[in-house]
Structure 1
């Protein structure tokens, strides 16, 4: 559910990024409790049209037994022709009010003993910053290795905050920065972190087989390269978790839509409904025409907010950069990317 939240602060991070902090009223703090790695969706009306964008929370997560967060803070990087990111960097000010969805997402690292590692690129540092800060503060038997890739030193988001984590836990936090377009005075040579380079690099940094969880976040190219490297190094798929921050357009998946349209049956918040599709629309679009409260954020197959269980029927899912293989095997789909291939498709958003 969305709630109007007041902007407490807009603070520059780099020339093309800021953090936005929202005040959380006392009566909503329990509602906005989040796990390390989760995100929020922000809604804004522009010219009569609704814009939703998803951003990861960057601060350590509040304790489960506490009252919940007093503030929510996200990092926003300017995107070419990005309607919300341009507004955030150039117009948004303290005191403004925006609609904010309650936290969601399954790219989560709950504090526990163990060895953890992350490969991130650009703004992909945002959810991982929350994960590192949370797990190291709450679990004394945890260690973390962060491999972060950025274009230049000046483009590194949360540079000081990551340095503070290194100063606070020098024996438990290993930081490996890599710049793709700028030479460093010390450390690794510059250049892209492709699969071959990561396959050669990672075993020299940490005992790969002993890592309990890998957390990959950033552009699709980097995440795919890191996943291939880990597979080549024999890391079990169950230990690899990923979240994509940017995806270029990709061709639609195979599968012809139902001639003459189909019927979508959906259960949402305990209520069911049945509606015909129109003009080859997605399952989410069909549901939204009749239930505007259906959950979604990016509509691009990236954030996973519209995840739903396919109860019966078949769909064509055009793209999926949010669901883990075990989720798709269990029958979950992204409603925004799913198009009916049978006369009747039934989904359950409550499962």
Structure 2
């Protein structure tokens, strides 16, 4: 369910990015209280079309009785309707419709040593994770390895520097610029598997890290995961969130091609109510549900955000892309409705699980 939120502040943080803060009415404070790492799904009407996008919350998570702080980072994307609107038209006082915070790329504060490898705007959820963890857990430590094109394009420089000043003994920061030399830190260049494989053991005791958080473009996240797996890190300790997939053809493996049935019926449960609809030729399960239920959850429709996650109750489906679900989720029977197509005459999914 979407709720109108008023913009209370807009801050330009780079030439092509802004931080937008939303005021949360008292009646919605618990609805919009977030776990560090979660994101907001927002929607905007443009040219008669509804545009939905997901933006991670960068503010620390507030505990009761403090009101939640909703601040998101938005970077301009070529051809991006909402990002163009946010950077060029959105003003303080405007209202934006948003769903309550969601997402499973989270860290609930606890003692331990944690680390993150991020690229570009991938810093956004990790900033909330690190700031909340260090503030609440005096026995926690955090290592942040971040990659950006140039110093001028680096989002949230001041906020990260503040963490370093506030927690000098518990917050470790390593920066890499892919297109610019820097006076201190790593030499320029991409953080690929080989480079990370040599760098990480020099920075942290890899076996002692209780959780790794990888966020950013698909290429960086893939290389970081491969480096960690080579170093012996268990898959369960690696958490991922993809912000951008450049090449749809090679970005992720697809399921084996199986001939779809000539006709298929989809049954879906959402908010306690079930309905059934015929699946039209070429439709995803999400598109089928939206014909009967306009309130079906979705944002990116690209297999990245995970908003349309549903449990496959019965039947078989093919997922074209999956950059949101962890292996244990797919093994447990969860699918992305926006990327799933029926392989059996009848399919049933449940959005409520």
Instruction: State if a TM-score over 0.5 links the two structures.
Output: yes
Q: Name the stretch that deviates more: 166-175 or 182-191.
A: 182-191
What's the CA shift string for 1:131-166, capped at 9, x where partnerless? 000000000000000000000111110000000000
Alpha-carbon offset, residue 68 of structure 1: 4.1
State the match for 1:328 in structure 2.
Answer: 330
Mapped pair 1:78 → 2:80:
no
Measure, in 2, the Cα distance between the counterparts of 1:293 and 1:257.
30
1-structure distance, mates of 2:248, 2:129: 30
Consecutive unaligned residues in structure 1, runs of 5 or more: none
Please tell me whether the aligned partners of residues 261 and 344 of structure 2 are also in contact (alpha carbons under 8 angstroms): no
The offset of 1:222, in angstroms, is 0.2
Give the alignment of 1:132-151 within 5 angstroms: 132-151=130-149
Does the Cα contact within 8 Å between 1:10 and 1:18 map onto a contact in 2? Answer: yes
Q: Partner residue of 2:264?
A: 262
In structure 2, which of residues 235, 241, 244 is the aligned counterpart of residue 243 of structure 1?
241
Q: Of the candidates 211, 214, 220, which is equivalent to residue 213 of structure 1?
A: 211
Partner-residue secondary structure (3-state), 2:341: strand
1:273 aligns with 2:272: no
Partner of 1:317: 319
Paired residue for 2:352?
350
Give the drift of 1:67: 5.4
Could you tell me how far apart the structure 1 residues matched to 2:81 and 2:187 are? 36
Deviation of residue 256 (structure 1)? 3.6
Contact 1:257-1:280 within 8 A present in 2 as well: no
Give the corresponding residue for 1:203: 201
| Kept in 2: contact 1:30–1:67 (CA 8 A) | no
State how far apart, in whole Å, the 1-side matches of 2:144 and 2:269 are: 41
**What is the RMSD computed on CA atoms of the aligned residues?**
1.0
Contact 1:152 1:180 (C-alpha < 8 Å) held by counterparts: yes
Unpaired runs of 5+ residues, structure 2, are none
Q: 2:277 is paired with a residue of what secondary structure?
A: strand
Per-residue deviation, 1:248: 2.6
Q: What is the CA–CA distance in structure 2 between the aligned matches of 1:121 and 1:167, rounded to whole Å? A: 22
2:44 aligns with: 44
Structure 1 runs of 4+ aligned residues shifted over 6 Å read none
> Does the aligned pair in 2 maintain the 1:314–1:340 contact within 8 Å?
yes
Aligned to 2:25: 25
In the TM superposition, residue 72 of structure 1 has moved relative to its aligned partner by 1.0
User: Paired residue for 1:98, among 62, 73, 96?
Assistant: 96
- Cα 1:33–1:257 shift into 2, 3 Å: farther
Matching residue of 1:59: 59
- Return the offset for 1:260: 2.5
Q: Aligned partners of 1:38, 1:320: CA distance in 2, in Å?
A: 18
Structure 2 CA distance for aligned equivalents of residues 271 and 66 of structure 1: 34
Q: Is the 8 A contact 1:264 1:346 kept in 2?
A: yes
Contact 2:261 2:342 (8 Å CA) reproduced: no
Q: Distance in 2 between matches of 1:138 and 1:149?
A: 26
Q: CA separation in 2, counterparts of 1:119 and 1:13? A: 21
Displacement, 1:257? Answer: 5.0
Match of 1:35 in 2: 35
Matched, 1:158 2:162: no
1:278 Cα shift? 1.1
2:152 aligned counterpart, secondary structure: helix
1:306 positional shift? 0.5
Equivalent-residue separation in structure 1 for 2:78 and 2:336 (angstroms): 26
Cα distance in 2, alignment partners of residues 271 and 77 from structure 1: 37
Separation (CA, whole Å) in 2 of partners of 1:246 and 1:253: 21
- Between the aligned partners of 2:114 and 2:99, the Cα distance in structure 1 is 29
